[in-house]
Amino acid sequence: MKKVSNWLVTILKSMPGGLTILDSYILSQLIPTFLFGVGLLSTLGVAIGNLSDLANKVADSNLPLLAALQILLLKVPEFVAYALPISVLLSTLMTYGRLSNDSEIIAFRSCGTSLRRLIFPAFILSLMVTIITFLCTELVVPSANYQATSILITSIKEEHEYRQTKDIFYPDYENIILPDGQTIRTLRSLFYAEQFNGKEMKYLTIIKWIGQRLDQIVISDSASWNSLKNTWDFFDGTIYQIAPDASYSEAFPFEHQQLQFPKAVFDFASQGRNPYEMNIVQAKEYTKILQLSGDQKKVRIFEVRIQQKIAFPFVCIVFGVIGAALGANFGNISRGTSFGLSVGIVFAYYVFGFVTGSIGLIGTISPFLAAWLPNIFGLILAGFLISERK
């Protein structure tokens, strides 16, 4: 751990502007505690949050042991992401508390160093962890969570709360290059089904375009995905061919017809992802699809969750500055006290976040405020703590 800490400090020194001796010293104290916190909290999170539930599924639902181990490993990135901001808080509280307890803060300040300057290394660490947290929650966690959910659905047929059962809209896009060289994104097909029972869709209407021209309309009583032939089986319907002037040119009734449409339509309906199984771009695209279906409740959920996904990494900065300010302002903070304070601050933050999120979900406040109010109040508190001792 000490080698990792020294390596990180060396990297920071090599950055443009570099670090002062003071910065390097405080960071060398912060980073080992931070790394220890990440390891400890991630392990506890995985053990407490998943082991008991997976053990019950293995015993009661016949979940294969190998599948349970895969799910356990896939859940690790999520708990690492949660552990990162808490570890920043714990690290800054303990490090600055020790510096204050050993009168090092007094010594630094007697040399003319302001509290804001002393807290700057904590801000640097918090900023780095904010970037790491954002990358983790965007690039790793959504995919891992979705794979874990897919394993549960495949292994024990577990119900997914976001599975679509009615009014399924699915737009399929493609990029078209215009004669002037400009690339535009346009609809290739628009898929609508009135009902879905998990295997079969009922009362379907599909509109297809070729380029920017309407080409075909398919109406069918039912359809299902044929996994053996990787195509759709449509039953009891009609294919309407559209002429270039947008009039009907021909109609082809059928009892059974295999048509090529994306399997993503079936996946979207049967294994719809929840907000924590999507990155921000995917969640925004999914929200547009939900808006087509008119499901305003789910639209609101996704709008709030998208803002929360953006706001969450910045709690690292909030926790880092608050922890440093508390540790520097109040001496005699032992490791036990630091841990207790960390638990209290984290609990207060997440309770406040839960309240504002819930208010946002019912539409009382905007999704932006629902997600960002805890961070805003946290930064106000941090500013107050810093201003107490200039």
**pLDDT tens digits along 256-294:** 988 888 777 777 776 567 788 888 988 887 787 777 666
pLDDT tier at 388, thresholds 50, 70, 90: low
Residue 132 has pLDDT above 80, yes or no: yes
E strands along the chain, which residues? 166-177, 183-196, 200-210, 213-226, 231-242, 248-259
pLDDT tens digits, 145-193: 888 887 887 777 666 556 667 778 778 777 777 777 777 777 788 888 8
pLDDT tier at 210, thresholds 50, 70, 90: confident
What's the pLDDT score for residue 374?
94
What's the pLDDT score for residue 387?
77
What's the pLDDT score for residue 303?
92
pLDDT tens digits, 190-204: 888 888 877 889 999
What's the pLDDT score for residue 215?
84
Beta-bridge partners for 225 = 232
What's the pLDDT score for residue 34?
93
pLDDT tens digits, 326-365: 888 766 666 667 677 788 888 999 899 999 999 999 989 9
Query: C-alpha distances in angstroms, 328 versus 7, 36, 41, 113?
Result: 26, 21, 24, 13
The angle formed by the CA atoms of residues 52, 76 and 63, to the nearest 5 degrees, is: 45
Its pTM stands at 0.74
Taking the CA atoms of 338, 339, 345 and 348 in sequence, report the sign of the dihedral they define. negative
Beta-bridge partners for 233 = 224, 258
What's the pLDDT score for residue 198?
73
